[in-house]
A = this chain, B = another copy of it.
Amino acid sequence: MSFTDVLFGRPLATSEERAEHIGVAAGIPIFGLDALTSAAYGPEAAMTLLIPMGIVGLDYIVPVITAILTLLVIVYFSYRQTIAAYPSGGGSYTVATENLGEGAGLLAAAALMIDYILTAAVGISAGVTALTSAVPDLHRHRLAICLVILAILAVINLRGVKDTGAAFIIPTFLFVGTLLAVIGVGTYRVWASGGHPIPLAPPPPPGPVLVRYLSIWLLLKTFASGCAAMTGVEAVSNGVMAFEEPRAKRAQRTLTIIVVTLIVLLFGITWLSKAYGITAMEPEAHNYQSVLSILTTAVFGRGWVYFLTMGSVLLALSLSANTAFADFPRLARAISVHDYLPHVFTIRGRRLLYSHGVYALTGFTALILILFGGVTDKLIPLYAIGAFLAFTLSQAGMVVHWLKMDKHPGRMWHMFVNGFGAVATGITLIVVLIAKFRAGAWVTALLIPTMIVLMMVVKRHYTRVKREMKDMTPLSLTNLEQPLVVIPMARWDRIAEKALRFGLLMSKELKVVHVHSDDEPAGLEQEWEDKIVAPLKKEGLPVPELVTISSTYRFIINPLMDYILELEQSNPGRKVAVLLPELVVRHWWENALHNQRVQLLKLLLLVKGNQRIVVVNIPWYL
């Protein structure tokens, strides 16, 4: 077994593909992890904005989260309908393209690709934040840890996610379970203490109150940041195909459980933070801890429960990045099938995966992590734009979908739900864009049109190629004329003989071109008659023309190129075959001992040549 086999698994035959279908219990970890783990960073993203308000900020956090949860419920009902309408998978790209046209599809495609890259980056960096909250010494190695986790995820996903699908169940339930335990025990303590629980370890004191009243602007920013908690909700609608029949029902049930759990987690964490008087810390602070870490410490102290909780958060967040690895390659393939991305994304690798999608996602995620130093809070402003743009386009597409389905019972109601969802997410999108524009949303706002332009350039290229290739007529056999064969020859040796023999097979019209540098003592003439012309005449074969070009400046390539291009131009319609004898050495370093003119000539013929110039490599193995 080779190293590649050990690392990535043996190649899988196409016939080995298994259509595995999953139930609700497996569906929750696979499609829900991304959404559920938003609970780990969503509340904190909102609370970070309230740091300047110090202890006063706590009065506002519960209402803000309640608004976000309301939006989540709207989106939930909206996606329930999408699942029912697109049982074969209703990702935003598909829904937008089918109902709103190519333009909207491209917008959704760009938004989703950015969203997936950020999902991977935010998942990993938030996981590492959980780790460094528990072990502060690791704080300065944050970026390196992020990249190692990314590499592990890439390898796992190149092996194929199906092998590891089952492994998701335990971390997901551990994550949900420990967080529910924190919320449950915490709530009991609040109740038992009459609303004034005593933390087992005191949380860090809140910062000074710099701002006393919440301005509309700060409110919007807080809401916009908190919306990061909603990302990942669309995942189930992409993957309906993966469920057992009745697909739509099971998918809907999965979505319901995910959303209800998410609401409990989000509300619980926020409400408890307020009850314990916990505020967010500046992420750049040297003793930085996440809100979740402070809260868990307050409820359970720094015992084994704390480390179990933090460990499960780290694990779940890292694995949540896996949602991106599962979906991005499929999305890239779907876009590539429509000619908007390089076709390489449609090729299935050794493990039956669209491996180039994995490569691209890994590369871009690493880039993002490095550019932003692996700091979650710097990534959040870029994040929600893509998700909400995709939400909006998907819901808007659904409205058009119902419009077309004029015989569907209850379509007005469906239209209303999806329309309401579209409007709500659309407004949120605008709020997020405005509120977080300067903090980083401008990056996404610039990236999306750039990506659309790139995709259109790719499409134009493929369209041109297809136009040139389309409507294949039967093989045309007119004008089948022998090519003019050009053989550059420096001296008469075995390589030259091999090329000449091959040339004689190809055509009756041969031109042997000898570039004679004034430097060299003798040309080819003296051997020409004896060694070449005489045997040919004896056999009655056509004699090649010897073209001797004198090179004043000792250049070899230029005169040859000029001759070939001139020959091609003065013989319109004829093909010109250039026979290039090539020395193949045994060791790479031996190339340094031979001039590389043939390589240069090949390159020049390709660049300056045209349809009628064909290069024939005659290898000579030493």
Contacts and interface: CB of A to CB of B under 8 A. Distances in A.
Nearest to A610: B621
Contact of A473 (B464, B531, B592, B615): B531
Given A13-B518, A473-B531, A593-B458, A614 B619 contact: yes
A192 interface: no
Interface in A463-518: 464-465, 468-469, 472-477, 480-483, 492-495, 497-498, 500-502, 504-507, 517-518
B614 A343 contact: no
B468 A622 contact: yes
A458 B170 CA distance: 64
A21 interface: no
Contacts of A594: 343
Contact of A619 (B481, B493, B517, B609): B609
A342 B592 contact: yes
- Number of copies of this chain in the oligomer? 2
Given A348-B554, A506-B506, A343 B469 contact: no
Nearest to A500: B475
A463 to B, nearest CB: 12
A284 interface: no
A527 B472 contact: yes
A571 interface: no
Contacts of A507: 505
B553 A13 contact: yes
Contacts of A530: 474
Interface of A: 11-15, 342-344, 347-350, 458, 461-462, 464-465, 468-469, 472-477, 480-483, 492-495, 497-498, 500-502, 504-507, 517-519, 527, 530-532, 534-536, 539, 541, 552-555, 575, 577, 582-584, 590, 592-595, 602, 606, 609-611, 613-622
Given A13-B553, A611-B619, 12 more contacts: A347-B595, A348-B554, A472-B527, A473-B531, A474-B531, A474-B532, A476-B497, A606-B619, A609-B619, A614-B616, A614-B617, A616-B617
7 contacts: A458-B593, A469-B493, A474-B534, A477-B539, A611-B620, A613-B619, A616-B616
